[in-house]
Structure 1
Amino acid sequence: MTETAENALTFSARIGSHIGVRDLAAKARFVEDSGFDQVWVGNDLFGEPGLVSLAAIAMSTDRIKFGSGVIDPVSLHPVQIAMFASGLQELSGDRFLLGLGAGSDVFYSWAGLTPPPPVTRTRQAVLAIQELLAGRSPAGVAGVAEGWLPQAKLRFLRPTPIYIGAMGPKMLELTGKYADGALPLCLPPRHITGVIEQIGAGAAKAGRTLDELDIAACIWCSISDDRDEARWYLARHIALYSGSLSTAALVANGLDPEEFARTQALMLDDREDDAIASVTDSMLELGIAGGPNDVIEQCSALIEAGVKHVSFGPPMGPDTMASVRILGEKVFPALREQHHTKGI
């Protein structure tokens, strides 16, 4: 059975760089050469210069689709976002994917910004940008912020798919109602089942189906030919974020918050090695880790559960680009063959 566009698998990478734009663009090219379908880069306030990086990626790659993961509608006005999206589409030959998100209230406070609540500001932006990219003014559209005038139309526009970075139930429902794609961070990966259900509920309210959305299961993945090394890097990543995870979310997914509290206490006491060693097998369920066969097995379970798009993100492994190569050479062919054979 030949895969069609409807049932084909999509693999993407979420990458960053602490060196600079040129380094990130080179990484994106390597990701493309390794057989990925999409590459996503950040644009957090006070973080990497994502818009510049996106332009560099557009000019450094030929085939791969690339996206912003994510642009916020507070530090950039929706009109500017629509303008940048149109420009990146034109520059890349329509390979750009516009990832939007609510952004961080912490970062906004640093800049003296006081935006509307996360779901409100995201909804207002998505609807406004959709109108602008369709050549219309957002004036008078239900759900859009007040103040737009009828003459608020773009002079240069290029239709662009809109993805929403969503985690909570209200944002997931919003995604199902309005977006072309979703970027939910799935901690643990099995959380994607509930995510799909919540997005589906939002889609149904808008008279849509899940087939109309590209839902990326954004997972933490650490892969290396050395299985123990890969697991260590995921453990380190979990230790670093042990104090930032929602207790309610941990409990809901059958994880023990006390284990994470113990690890966080060790981190706060500057005992990083002990903190990493304290990460248990159950805590490692927050991500996917191991050698190629381990990752194939765990990703196969996601695909059998209905996932069509797996997005691999940090920690990735001891060498991010080596991990990208292993995924492209050893993992993707196996997953695609299994998918093709089973006719999923």
Structure 2
Amino acid sequence: MTWSLRLNNDLPAADLLQIALLAEDLGCDQLWVSNDLYLRSAPVLMGTLAARTSRIRLGIAIMNPYSVHVSELAMTAATLAEVSGGRFLLGIGAGSEEFLSWAGLSRAKPLATTAQAVAALRRMLGHRDVSDADLPSWFGDHSVLRFEQTAPVPVYVGGMAPKMLAMAGRLADGALPLLYPPEHFATAQAQVHDGLRVAGRDPAVFDLPACIWVSLSDNASAARAALAEKLAYYGPSISPYLLAEVGLRPEDFLAAAALAQRGRAAQAVAMIDERMLRLGIAGDENDVIDRCRALQRLGAEHLSFGPPLGPDPLAAVRILGERVMPALGTVPRVAASATLTTNGGTT
């Protein structure tokens, strides 16, 4: 059973490194960092993590072809692969239309633009199965990195829409579908497999993490409150297509979001009901294990745990590695000798 972590690029570099070192010691397979605009630079953070870790695979989820040109994305990915000893993974997606607008950027033809970016990136990053018909019009003989690459860099697609996931199955090496609720995995998997089938590709070589929001703590109430706070803030921006699956609409979160954005977190949390909380997984280790076992029954072989992770993210990662994943069929590696802190103490 593969497992990974997804962390936001709002974390200070020192905190992110501490989590990465613990995750590596616990046997976590991948660590992904977001690259949301106006927060910390994920490529810089990746360089720091690459220098201090030795085994865990490191990915950016996601970069987009609007704010950075595809040729520069390829340069970044290949360089990070070099400095990490071949451990780097690149996530590419259309990005948030709202966030891009903050930088004066429009998001034209998101599906076609992302598909062409995936093809161009994979060609430049050493993959030999890219069709010329999928490449953008500017791509030519000059579109080649001028330094040696030892192995192809895997390219993942970040997306939730059916056509985007089918495109990922057709063109990419993996996909990173955010699942609201986690049980949406069955639908997302079928959409990816549609693309794999069209392209005649083997699902066994495609990495499809079940990307879920998890809030985990020995204090189940605190874990639920941490997830509720995140849902209050981001709820209106969750895809209506996904919310409809559980009988919700973006408008259902507007009142809570207005309170959260004014700093009235406690009142916002009180407006998040049980049905809303089911969009993620919150509680103690048994709550998380139960929902993850349901995902395994749906065919998930890679579980990807994303923020808020819990009221204490470092403690949550330790519970995931030491208790949750062993219960799901993964035996953790024993921590070497790193001294890590949780809530100011040593563990």
Q: TM-score, normalised by structure 2?
A: 0.87
The structure 2 residue matched to 1:233, chosen from 215, 226, 231, is 226
Specify the code of the residue in structure 1 equivalent to 2:281: I
1:144 corresponds in structure 2 to: 135
1:29 corresponds in structure 2 to: 21
Measure the CA separation in 1 of the matches of 2:199 and 2:233: 39
Give the superposed CA RMSD.
2.3
Please state if 1:204 is matched with 2:194: no
1:7-64 deviation line (CA, Å, top 9, x unaligned): xx11101123545334323321222123211100011232221110111111110110
My pick for the range that moved more, 26-35 or 163-172, is 26-35
The alpha-carbon deviation at position 236 of structure 1 amounts to 1.5
Structure 1 residues 154 and 292 mapped into 2: Cα distance closer, same or farther (>3 Å)?
same
2:178 corresponds in structure 1 to: 185
Q: Secondary structure at the match of 2:292?
A: helix
1:305-339 deviation line (CA, Å, top 9, x unaligned): 1001111111111111010011111101110169x
Structure 1 residues 251 and 115 mapped into 2: Cα distance closer, same or farther (>3 Å)?
closer
Measure the CA separation in 1 of the matches of 2:125 and 2:29: 24
1:224-249 deviation line (CA, Å, top 9, x unaligned): 01111111111121112222223343
8 Å contact from structure 2 (residues 229, 260) kept in 1: no
1:12 corresponds in structure 2 to: 4
Please state if 1:78 is matched with 2:46: no
8 Å contact from structure 2 (residues 157, 174) kept in 1: yes
Specify the code of the residue in structure 2 equivalent to 1:100: I
Specify the code of the residue in structure 2 equivalent to 1:41: V
Structure 1 residues 240 and 105 mapped into 2: Cα distance closer, same or farther (>3 Å)?
closer
Q: Secondary structure at the match of 1:242?
A: helix
1:122 corresponds in structure 2 to: 114
Q: Secondary structure at the match of 1:156?
A: coil
8 Å contact from structure 2 (residues 235, 250) kept in 1: no
Q: TM-score, normalised by structure 1?
A: 0.88
My pick for the range that moved more, 105-114 or 267-276, is 267-276
8 Å contact from structure 1 (residues 58, 92) kept in 2: yes
1:238-288 deviation line (CA, Å, top 9, x unaligned): 112222223343222334666534534654776532321222211111001
Measure the CA separation in 1 of the matches of 2:330 and 2:100: 46
8 Å contact from structure 2 (residues 166, 196) kept in 1: yes
Measure the CA separation in 1 of the matches of 2:64 and 2:302: 23
8 Å contact from structure 1 (residues 22, 56) kept in 2: no
Measure the CA separation in 1 of the matches of 2:113 and 2:148: 22
8 Å contact from structure 2 (residues 77, 153) kept in 1: yes
The number of aligned residues is 328
Q: Secondary structure at the match of 1:142?
A: helix
1:134 corresponds in structure 2 to: 126
Structure 1 residues 132 and 105 mapped into 2: Cα distance closer, same or farther (>3 Å)?
same
The gaps in structure 2 that reach 5 residues or longer are 332-347
8 Å contact from structure 1 (residues 133, 157) kept in 2: no
Measure the CA separation in 2 of the matches of 1:49 and 1:205: 36
1:106 corresponds in structure 2 to: 98
1:278 corresponds in structure 2 to: 271
2:304 corresponds in structure 1 to: 311
The gaps in structure 1 that reach 5 residues or longer are 1-8, 339-344
Measure the CA separation in 1 of the matches of 2:11 and 2:259: 29
1:222 corresponds in structure 2 to: 215
1:56 corresponds in structure 2 to: 48
The alpha-carbon deviation at position 135 of structure 1 amounts to 7.9
1:3 corresponds in structure 2 to: none
The structure 1 residue matched to 2:61, chosen from 69, 77, 82, is 69
8 Å contact from structure 1 (residues 21, 52) kept in 2: no
1:342 corresponds in structure 2 to: none
Structure 1 residues 149 and 264 mapped into 2: Cα distance closer, same or farther (>3 Å)?
closer
Q: Secondary structure at the match of 2:214?
A: strand
Please state if 1:46 is matched with 2:46: no
Please state if 1:326 is matched with 2:295: no
1:167 corresponds in structure 2 to: 160
Structure 1 residues 177 and 230 mapped into 2: Cα distance closer, same or farther (>3 Å)?
same
Measure the CA separation in 1 of the matches of 2:23 and 2:145: 33
The structure 2 residue matched to 1:176, chosen from 144, 164, 169, is 169
